[in-house]
Structure 1
């Protein structure tokens, strides 16, 4: 999944809707503009031009789009408008488009006021312009027709941004773990050993207290070798204590303790995504992404076309903690992937819990946040078959 290419064959299906002069309304989420550019622009035409209609607030986002899309300096124009002043929007767009033909307007971004008056301005200049917007729920490009009919064109995986491009569109640099750590051990932990191992971690790495042991005590923790942990012995590679293993694995002992206690679940989740990547059209992924000067973090994220799936991972089984992790993932996922983003949490919540089962948690979240078909809660019983459950999620509508 290292080399990511726009699907040129699928993009040919949008040729009849492309315009030499493409007008894009820039809102706080630049992803629709990124997608619209690839579907509707004519970059190979010597006379092609992109008009970014932005506000004082979104001017920087327009700059980010220009940089990420690598649009030549003579191929774009920014039109900064007052987003709540219809006259200002209409007049500025009209002035810039005067005398132009073959115009297209995609009005997915921006405010409603911007959309209404941009539409009026473009239509006044060229009544034969192509008007469109992206339907986030159905992942379709909707073309407005003169006869008041609309045409819907499925986008599918025609446009494939890189995850790092999503960060760049918001002006963020990103650091990530890069690769899955100890994948074979993750498989064993995920295959019905996770609950016993979690209990061992609480007893030995925290001594059943809320706080992790200090480093000297962590170094002296004896690694488990007796049943049910006999399958882990091969990974200890002759080490008998956590300190020895930390040295062997070239890790700080407290970082290793955190990984054993639960960070491994992030690696296991990405591994499960990768197991179904080909059949589910996953083309990019990221693990342990830290951005905005490390203030924010995403545990696991993957891209299917331009649809972002974010999975938060926690060994918690308490409803409050699971909901908190899901909310954090929702905020970051919406920020990067917009309305198209889907959010999940992989946790230890059990189906047998009377008040904190995955079903109960999901129901409460959808009711409290007034959002349906946006979330998934993968509980303890689903961890051994996580790749199958993720596949169902990836293919759901």
Structure 2
């Protein structure tokens, strides 16, 4: 199997995991990545992180060979360089193969285009097949067969710790005790008050949201995990960032940021941050939820501006105080995540 490694290795993990689950005869995985130099940033670290995770999960596969084959490209924008290096470093070494599968989801457009056509044209390398990951609909699509796997979130799972490690992050805090009853009391005070002042720092809101979602959604949806209050950073970073509430459905991430504030500037900054952070960890298809103390009109304007400013179609959901009062926030989040 041949994979293209871009800045987000999650799609590569999903594809590799699916084929390893369904093909015990898989012997070799090639990881094609960009080399770090003056022309481009490299993705060798992403390839190494992916290899480490696959070895942890599939080291006893039997047929799969470790270390995985890693192919570096010196200029991913130069068609001639790509073709020469793919031929020299990979195709010339494929003589004994009974066949190969190429998934062209990752990498740059020029990488996927030129590698695809090179592999399409080679002769005498056994059976060939090609696929891409339809990330928006969580499906795997083969060129000659159409959809071969619907909703990969059902069978492809990853722990949140492994997900952040795959992207080079680490957790820098530990789980603490949560007082859901105390948070519920504060929550009732908050939604019944005409002001958002004198309620405290708002930590109660994330405790309450996580607790309610855990009780309402977790037993309804297969392969969903809910976490709260993870502080994350990359080695060498001076500062960390915090995800208030995390929903992980198989491998698909939804991050929730909570604030009792109704101040537009404060809420908008939090909206930008949760969108950015979820994408860093979960890729372009990750989703973000912003829970605020805004009224209905403020919420509507905030939602529109965040969508416009980030160019997103459905990557952000803003909830306000009215959603919290009526309890509709649970179904809103559920619909946002699952389209039910």
Whether contact under 8 Å (1:303, 1:309) holds in the other structure is yes
CA shift, 1:136, in A, is 1.7
TM-score normalised per structure 2: 0.84
Are 2:86 and 1:93 aligned?
yes
Does the 8 Å CA contact 2:271/2:306 hold for their aligned counterparts? Answer: no
- Aligned residue for 1:218? none
Paired residue secondary structure (2:260): coil
Q: TM-score scaled by structure 1?
A: 0.72
Instruction: Give the 3 Å change call, closer, same or farther, for CA 180–108 of structure 1 in structure 2.
Output: farther
The counterpart of 2:198, out of the listed 159, 183, 200, is 200
- Structure 1 unaligned blocks of 5 or more: 1-21, 202-259
CA distance in 2, matches of 1:179, 1:142: 42
User: What is the deviation of 1:273?
Assistant: 2.0
> Aligned partners of 1:263 and 1:185: how far apart in 2?
11
Q: Count how many residue pairs are aligned between Structure 1 and Structure 2.
A: 311
For residues 58-137 of structure 1, what are the structure 2 equivalents within 5 Å?
Answer: 58-70=43-55, 72=59, 74-81=66-73, 82-95=75-88, 96-97=90-91, 98-99=94-95, 100-125=97-122, 126=125, 128-137=127-136
Aligned partner of 2:315 among 374, 383, 389: 374
Deviations 1:321-359 (A, max 9, x none): 1111011011111111112201110110011x4xx2x12
- Hey, what does 2:142 align to over in structure 1? 143
Of 274, 286, 297, the residue aligned with 2:214 is: 274
Instruction: Quote the offset at 1:199 in angstroms.
Output: 2.6
Tell me what 2:203 maps to. 263
Q: Indicate which of 330, 335, 339 corresponds to 2:275.
A: 330
Q: Structure 1: how far apart are the matches of 2:334 and 2:113?
A: 40
Distance 1:63 1:286 in 2: 27
> Displacement of 1:185 after TM fit?
1.6
1:289-333 CA-to-partner distances (Å, cap 9, x unmatched) read 222244222221111121100111111102221111011011111
Deviations 1:159-187 (A, max 9, x none): 11111111101222113452561011222
Indicate if the aligned counterparts of 1:177 and 1:287 stay in contact, CA closer than 8 A: no
Measured in 1, the distance between the counterparts of 2:126 and 2:54 equals 28
Q: Any idea what SS the aligned residue of 2:254 has?
A: strand
- Counterparts of 1:1-397 in structure 2, within 5 Å, are 22-41=1-20, 45=24, 48-56=27-35, 57-70=42-55, 72=59, 74-81=66-73, 82-95=75-88, 96-97=90-91, 98-99=94-95, 100-125=97-122, 126=125, 128-145=127-144, 150-151=146-147, 153-154=149-150, 155-179=152-176, 181-191=178-188, 193-194=190-191, 196=193, 198-201=196-199, 260-275=200-215, 276-281=217-222, 283-292=224-233, 293=237, 294-351=239-296, 353=297, 356=298, 358-384=299-325, 385=327, 386-396=329-339
Q: Is the 8 A contact 1:313 1:345 kept in 2?
A: yes
Q: Helix, strand or coil: the match of 1:108?
A: coil
Larger radius of gyration: 1
CA distance in 2, matches of 1:117, 1:193: 57
Tell me which residue corresponds to 1:225: none
SS in 2 for 1:392: helix
- Measure the CA separation in 2 of the matches of 1:42 and 1:272: 34
- The 8 Å contact of residues 153 and 223 in structure 2, kept in 1 or not, is answered as no
Partners of 1:329 and 1:341 in 2: CA distance: 10
CA deviation vs aligned residue, 1:19-54 (integer Å, no higher than 9, x gap): xxx111000001001101111237974661110000
Structure 2 vs 1, CA of residues 87 and 45 (structure 1 numbering), >3 Å: closer, same or farther? farther
| SS in structure 1 of the partner of residue 156 of structure 2 | coil
Distance in 1, Cα, partners of 2:186 & 2:66: 55
* SS of the residue 1:383 aligns to: helix
Q: Give distance in 2, aligned partners of 1:152 and 1:47.
A: 17
